[in-house]
């Protein structure tokens, strides 16, 4: 996919399809939408017929494809729903619906009439960003293992109306930036969708190395021997069960843009497969546990976008990677492991492994880089999915400014996040009789909150935000029909758009 901005009506008219948004029509409303005024008389005739018969009503999700009588390609009308409920997320979904409607129909190029997607509270820049997101993400498919595919839209033109054409500079910047972000989401989804036999901890390290080479980032990979020397007992314990796919910790460093600001660490859970280990999971849905690396893969994406967009802060990315499988060398319930920062963990359940690998990664990054802020992303708990569903991530934080900055980024990007509490009650619950903390409480009470309280032990007072992305990291067939049209089967790369936005806005939110 390629997104362009163009002021010439001729470019739009020459596309294989032109997309226009339509607001939902009131019962008595008869005025023909003025955004369709540019169409030729014959096409307008067709549209009028459909409009008068109320077959085109602008309802949310409504897609109408009209072939222009003169053979100049198609006109695609996307319902935007009521004017009063319009926002950038409506545009994001509309754009994805349009490219999906054109899939397999031979349309290679598509033009969006930007004024038709621009109305309070959605500025033309916000609409442009949402269209770039919607077209790139909506047409995404994981194709690596498929021998056939239907043709998708390859190029999106954002066609400016006269009123928007006057000052293109901001619009052009928005499109250029969002193209990088959306392309990065696609890149991230391609890695996150890889199965566990391929996407081993070492493979994730290789992805980091080649990204580092391409973008000039410093990349350090710690293997088992090095992790041993560093006393990273958490990652070693979790990864110890796998003889074929040994654990890795990967660190990527982006030095910071021109207006060099603070240092932000972004840490991801990278369990390449979570069988539960000795505390083995039931077979049902275990295939989804290849997505248990989604936090770490999102960190790779965030580093890619940060470097390409030259975000102001220095950013340190850490991937805590291990495969959690049962074997004679697995860690066991009852074991006590010593982590990088010296704290000990009593293992009660080997399926609560994410927090165990993160303990080393968080401890290491705060000691080594003294960041101003730490953000972690992890598919950490089933309780998160039960509590907030499979579209919204949970945010738990020790710092209101950081938390509010992430919520602000969520509002702009459309990746939903909801803040959850972190209290002394939950801190007490993760204390252990034999070690400093325990990795499970044995009771199904507030599992998402106690997991966060556990992690707090490893950030040493650094302002910290934890994003539990267990539900939002991937989609399954069970809820696909209700998911936004830009979330296709498999990995969503949740967090890439959100955290990248946060990093881009970082100086503003920190003052
Ligand atoms: N990877 C899982 C969490 C998960 C569940 C992610 C469903 C995505 C979808 C995690 O490692 C896990 O198994 N957590 C346990 C912790 C419990 C044993 C304390 C859980 O939430 O059940
Ligand atoms: Zn687990
Ligand atoms: Zn897990």
| Mean pLDDT to the nearest integer, 56-66 | 93
How far apart CA 442 and CA 113 sit, in angstroms, is 56
Going by pLDDT thresholds of 50, 70 and 90, the confidence category of residue 247 is: very high
How far apart CA 243 and CA 233 sit, in angstroms, is 17
| Mean pLDDT to the nearest integer, 22-30 | 85
Residue 44 has pLDDT above 90, yes or no: no
Q: Is there an atom of ligand 1 within 6 Å of 353 CB?
A: yes
Q: Is 144 exposed, middle or buried (0-12, 13-18, 19+ CB in 10 A)?
A: exposed
Model pTM?
Answer: 0.97
Mean pLDDT for the chain? 94
Q: What is the pLDDT of residue 14?
A: 87
Q: What is the pLDDT of residue 258?
A: 61
Query: 327 C-alpha to center of ligand 3: Å?
Result: 17
Residue 430 has pLDDT above 70, yes or no: yes
pLDDT in tens, 476-487: 999 999 999 999
Q: Is there an atom of ligand 1 within 6 Å of 447 CB?
A: yes
Q: What is the pLDDT of residue 315?
A: 97
Residue nearest to atom 8 of ligand 1 (CA): 470
Residue 511 has pLDDT above 60, yes or no: no
> Which residue among 333, 378, 382, 393 has the greatest number of ligand 1 atoms within 8 angstroms of its CB, and so is best to mutate?
382
| Mean pLDDT to the nearest integer, 217-243 | 98
| Mean pLDDT to the nearest integer, 35-60 | 87
DSSP state of 457: T
| Mean pLDDT to the nearest integer, 211-236 | 98
Closest CA to 15 of 113, 126, 89, 142: 113
437-438 and 63-67: which strand pairing? Answer: unpaired
């Amino acid at each position: 996919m390629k997104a362009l901005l163009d002021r010439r009506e001729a470019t739009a008219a020459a596309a294989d399809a032109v997309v226009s948004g339509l607001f939902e029509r009131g019962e008595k409303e008869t005025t023909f939408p003025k955004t369709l005024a540019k169409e030729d008389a014959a096409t307008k005739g067709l549209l009028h017929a459909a409009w008068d018969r109320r077959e085109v009503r602008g309802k949310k999700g409504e897609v109408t494809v009209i072939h222009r009588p003169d053979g100049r390609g198609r006109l695609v009308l996307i319902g935007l729903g009521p004017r009063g409920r319009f926002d950038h997320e409506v545009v994001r979904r509309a754009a994805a619906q349009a490219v999906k409607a054109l899939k397999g129909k031979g349309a290679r190029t598509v033009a969006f009439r930007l004024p038709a997607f621009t109305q309070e509270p959605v500025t033309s820049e916000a609409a442009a960003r949402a269209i770039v997101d919607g077209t790139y993400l909506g047409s995404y498919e994981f194709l690596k293992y498929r021998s056939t595919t239907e043709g998708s839209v390859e190029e999106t033109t954002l066609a400016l109306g006269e009123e928007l054409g006057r000052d293109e500079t901001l619009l052009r910047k928005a499109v250029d930036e969002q193209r990088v972000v959306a392309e990065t989401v696609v890149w991230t989804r391609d890695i996150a969708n890889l199965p566990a036999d391929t996407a081993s901890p070492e493979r994730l390290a290789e992805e980091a190395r080649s990204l580092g080479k391409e973008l000039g980032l410093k990349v350090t990979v710690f293997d088992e021997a090095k992790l041993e020397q560093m006393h990273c007992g958490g990652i070693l314990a979790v990864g110890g069960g796998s003889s074929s796919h040994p654990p890795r910790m990967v660190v990527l460093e982006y030095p910071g843009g021109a207006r060099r600001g603070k240092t932000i660490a972004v840490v991801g859970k990278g369990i390449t497969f979570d069988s539960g280990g000795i505390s083995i999971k039931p077979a049902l849905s275990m295939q989804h546990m290849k997505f248990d690396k989604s936090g770490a893969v999102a960190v790779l994406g965030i580093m890619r976008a940060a470097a390409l967009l030259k975000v102001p802060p220095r950013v340190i990315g850490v991937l805590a990677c291990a495969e959690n499988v049962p074997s004679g060398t697995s860690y066991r319930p009852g074991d006590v492991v010593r982590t990088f920062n010296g704290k000990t963990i009593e293992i009660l359940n080997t399926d609560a492994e994410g927090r165990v690998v993160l303990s080393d990664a968080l401890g290491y990054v705060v000691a080594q880089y003294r960041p101003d802020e730490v953000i972690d992303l992890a598919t950490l708990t089933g309780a998160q999915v039960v509590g907030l569903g499979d579209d919204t991530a949970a945010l738990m934080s020790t710092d209101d400014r950081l938390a509010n900055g992430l919520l602000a980024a969520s509002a702009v990007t459309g990746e939903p996040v909801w803040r959850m509490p972190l209290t002394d009650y939950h801190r007490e619950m993760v204390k252990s009789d034999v070690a400093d903390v325990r990795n499970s409480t044995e009771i199904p009470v507030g599992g998402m909150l106690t997991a966060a309280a556990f992690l707090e032990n490893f950030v040493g007072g650094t302002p910290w935000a934890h994003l539990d992305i267990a539900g939002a990291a991937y989609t399954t067939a069970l809820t696909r029909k209700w998911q936004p049209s830009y979330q296709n089967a498999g990995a969503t790369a949740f967090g890439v758009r959100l955290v990248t936005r946060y990093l881009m806005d970082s100086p503003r939110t920190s003052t």
